[in-house]
Amino acid sequence: MYSVGDFPHVEGILRENAPLGKKSFFGVGGTAEILFIPKDMDDLVVFLRSMPDNIPVTVLGVMSNVLVRSGGIEGVVISLGDWFNKVFVEGNVLEVGASVHCGRLSSVALENEIGGFEFLTGIPGTVGGAVKMNAGCCGAEIFDILIECEGINFSGQIKWIKPESTAFGYRVSGIPDNLIITRAWFRGSGSVDYSVSKKVNEIIAQRRERQPLDKKSCGSAFKNPEGCKAWELIDAAGCRGMRVGGAMVSEKHCNFIINEDNATAEDIEDLGELVVQKVFENSGIRLEWEIIRLGKRR
C-alpha cells in the first residue's frame, strides 16, 4: 500500500484512493491508489525522476476506451491536466498537447480550414491516447497525419518519436508502454477538393445513426480481425442484445458493450469474454479486445 508520503513534493495534485469510475465512459470502476495530475511538464519530470522505481505507473486520459475493474488500480495513476490541453497552429502544422480531445483538434483544424483531421470527430478520446494506440475512424488513422510526438518515460527521460521509427499498424503504434505522450505535431492540408465542414457533419450524422451514443459505452469493444468486421462476427454468433448483469451488447451496434442497467465493471468484462467465446465457437476467430482493461477484480 502506498500513501502520498511515499512520493516527492509536487506542484500539481497528488491524491490517495481517488475515484475513477465516474470519469470512465462506462461510468463504473474502482479507485486509483495514488492519482497524480502534474501542474506542468517540469512537475511531471521532477515527479518521475524522484519516484521509487518499484512503484507501478498507469497513464489515463478521459477513459473513453478504458475499463477499470472494481478493485481499482495499484500504484500511481498519472492523468495530464490543463497545461497539456493546448493547440498551436502554424500554417498546416498543429502542435497539440496530449490532453486535448480529438474532437477539439478536429474543430481547430476546421476553424483554420485545414483538411485531413475530419476523422478525429469520430474519436472520443484524447490525443495522447490516440497516438499511443494509433486510433482511427472512417478509413483514416492518427499516424496518417502525425509528424512527430514527444514523450517522457517512467524514469523522467524526454524522448521524441517519428512515425517512420516505429512499427505502427492497425490500432498499434509501436510506442513503448513506459512512454507517456505529452505533445504531438500533425500536418494537414490547406487545399483539399472537398468541403471540410461538410465531411465533419457527415461523420457526426453517421455516428448518431449507427452508434448508441446515448448509452454509457467505451466505443468498439473489439478490434476488427484481418479481412472482416468484428460486429459481423458478433452478430453471426447470435450475441446482439446478449446480457450479463447490467451490461448488454448493443442492439444498435453489436461491437459496442453498453452499461444498460447499473452494470459493474465485472458485468462488462464477463459479457465481453462471453462474446469472445461465442464468436470463437461460431467462426474459429478469437476476437481481441480494443477496450483496455486495467486494475484488479473485486
SS3 state at 276:
helix
Q: Is 157 left (phi over 0), alpha (psi -120 to 50) or beta?
A: beta
pTM: 0.91
Give the three-class secondary structure for 266.
helix
One CATH from 1.20.1600.10, 3.10.129.10, 3.30.465.10, 3.40.50.720 for 84-187: 3.30.465.10
Which residues of the chain are in CATH 3.30.43.10 domains? 4-82
CA distance 77 to 88: 27
| pLDDT score, position 138 | 82
- The single residue of 141, 150, 269, 290 carrying the catalytic annotation is 290
Q: What pLDDT shows up at residue 193?
A: 64
pLDDT at residue 181 in the model: 97
- CA 76/CA 86 separation, integer angstroms: 24
Pick from 287, 106, 275: which is nearest to 207 by CA? Answer: 106
Instruction: Give catalytic status of residue 141 as yes or no.
Output: no
Q: Write down the catalytic residue from 171, 207, 240, 293.
A: 171
By the 8 A CB rule, do 54 and 65 touch?
Answer: no
> Distance between CA 55 and CA 53 in Å, rounded?
6
CATH 3.30.465.10 maps onto the chain at 84-187
User: CATH 3.90.78.10 residue ranges in the chain?
Assistant: 214-294
Which of 64, 79, 220, 250 is labelled catalytic? 220
Pick the CATH number of 214-294 from 1.25.40.20, 3.40.50.1360, 3.50.50.60, 3.90.78.10: 3.90.78.10
Active site residue 220: yes
Q: Cell match 491516447: residue? A: 129
Q: Which CATH architecture has domain 4-82?
A: 2-Layer Sandwich (3.30)
Is 207 among the residues known to form the active site? no
DSSP state letters, 246-276: TEEE-SS-TTEEEE-SS--HHHHHHHHHHHH
The single-letter DSSP state of residue 118 is G
Please report the pLDDT score of residue 78 as a whole number.
97
Name the CA dihedral angle for 115, 208, 262, 20, rounded to a multiple of 10 degrees.
Answer: 10
Rounded Cα–Cα distance for residues 58 and 64 (Å): 15
> At residue 14, what is the residue type?
L
Instruction: Report mean pLDDT in 10-residue bins for the chain, 298 residues.
Output: 87 96 93 97 96 91 95 96 97 97 94 92 92 90 96 96 91 91 94 76 86 93 95 98 98 97 97 98 97 94
